[in-house]
Amino acid sequence: VSSVITESIFNDLLKHRNDAGCKAKGFYSYDAFIAAADAFPGFGTTGDLTTQKRELAAFFGQTSHETTGGWPTAPDGPYAWGYCFKEEQGNPPGEYCQASSQWPCASGKRYYGRGPVQISWNYNYGPAGKAVGFDGINNPDIVANDATVSFKTAVWFWMTEQSPKPSCHNVMAGGWGPSGSDTAAGRAAGYGVVTNIINGGLECGKGSDSRQEDRIGFYKRYCDILGVSYGSNLDCNSQKPFGFAAQSQPRLIKTVV
């Protein structure tokens, strides 16, 4: 990954992440990103160079939307302001606790969004911690305190299938093709399916959506920086969301390597 995302490119992608107005100032480091990327074989290294660049642009595009500090008239444009936040904005953030025998919520702990992908809910913190190597149930705060762990949760989410959803990685790396039911639901390979995976219930199948447009804007900027075309099917305007029942189920890592 470091051969595609050099430290100079990383700093260009996330140009204003360390501005004084960004609450995550000084948190998201290049070394932490590379350490997390190296922990997941196949991430950003699958397929030809065009495929690799598109996957990394997509990863940063989606996570930048989740952590953006941009606004329409921001210096260098709104899409130069990814990674301004490391914790969900809100006062106070919700508990995000769902009753679970496998991942029971710990007293006094809250599972609101943290890190690049804003991982949320106890049923995500538990499996993420198990995969990455921390106690996600009893120590969710580490995701906002340790940059390497924070990036690892984001890459874990990216690489992990949530049946019936494919993994974001498999979509961008070319390892997923639509089934008959996917085609009937308007889902086709491309960046739009990644948005559907992440937040389809709120953003997909409703025509143009400002949140979708923000995700696409980041992705296009990053593709431009990396010198790669965008590919097809960038939006999910006409895609039906994937099923929701799987959201509370433990995730299985099934990736293209």
Cis peptide before 93 (omega within 30 of 0): no
Instruction: Tell me the CA distances in angstroms from 159 to 46, 50, 59, 79, one per residue in order.
Output: 12, 19, 10, 24
Active centre residues (catalytic): 66
Q: Counting Cβ atoms within 10 Å, is residue 215 exposed (0-12), middle (13-18) or buried (19+)?
A: buried
Cβ atoms of 152 and 143 closer than 8 Å = no
Alpha carbon distance 83, 27 (integer Å)? 9
Q: Counting Cβ atoms within 10 Å, is residue 146 exposed (0-12), middle (13-18) or buried (19+)?
A: middle
If residue 163 lies in a helix (H) or strand (E), which one and from where to where?
none
